[in-house]
Amino acid sequence: MNRKQFLKIFLSSFGLFVIYLWGRLTKNISDYNFRKQSVVLPNDFSNGVTLQKDFIIIKNGDKLKIFSSRCSHLGCRINTVNQNIFTCPCHGSQFDLNGNPIKGPAAKSLTELKFKMDSKQNQIIIFS
């Protein structure tokens, strides 16, 4: 093996190693969501729909659904519920109790949020 072949193999191997490391490092960074936060609310909601500042909480017996109150169209805060239909005040988009759009301009569903019930503290922990 001459010097030229050695350098070619060495630099190719080194390049692949750098690409591998870069992929591993950026994967770990992208997996971390800097905006992750949790919100704790008391678990004292009655059956039906409750509009909070950032959340739409739907309780039906023991079942609970929580949506972001931000409209999927332009992010305006939904602040009206009438006959189980959520209405965005900005452009009139409407959503059903499952967060699905029933009237545009919004084409995407509302974001359903993950949560955990803490029965010991009687709280709901919402991950947004």
Q: Where are the domains of the chain?
A: 1-32, 38-127
Q: How far apart are CA 123 and CA 115, in angstroms?
A: 10
Per-residue pLDDT of the chain in tens (128 residues, 90 and over written 9): 788 888 888 888 888 888 887 777 665 554 444 445 566 666 677 788 888 888 888 888 888 899 998 998 888 899 888 888 999 988 889 999 999 999 889 889 999 998 888 877 778 888 86
Q: How many CB atoms lie within 10 A of CB 108?
A: 12
Cβ–Cβ < 8 Å for 57, 115? no
Please give the pLDDT value at position 101.
Answer: 93
Please give the pLDDT value at position 26.
Answer: 65
| Polymer length of the chain | 128
Q: Which residues pair with 64 in a beta bridge?
A: 59
Q: Produce one character per residue of 64-88: b if its CB has 16 or more CB atoms within 10 Å, e if not.
A: ebbbbbbbbbeeeebeebeeeebbb
CATH topology for 38-127 is: Rieske Iron-sulfur Protein (2.102.10)
pTM score = 0.64
Structure tokens at 36: 């992750």
Which has the closest alpha carbon to 51: 17, 20, 86?
Answer: 86
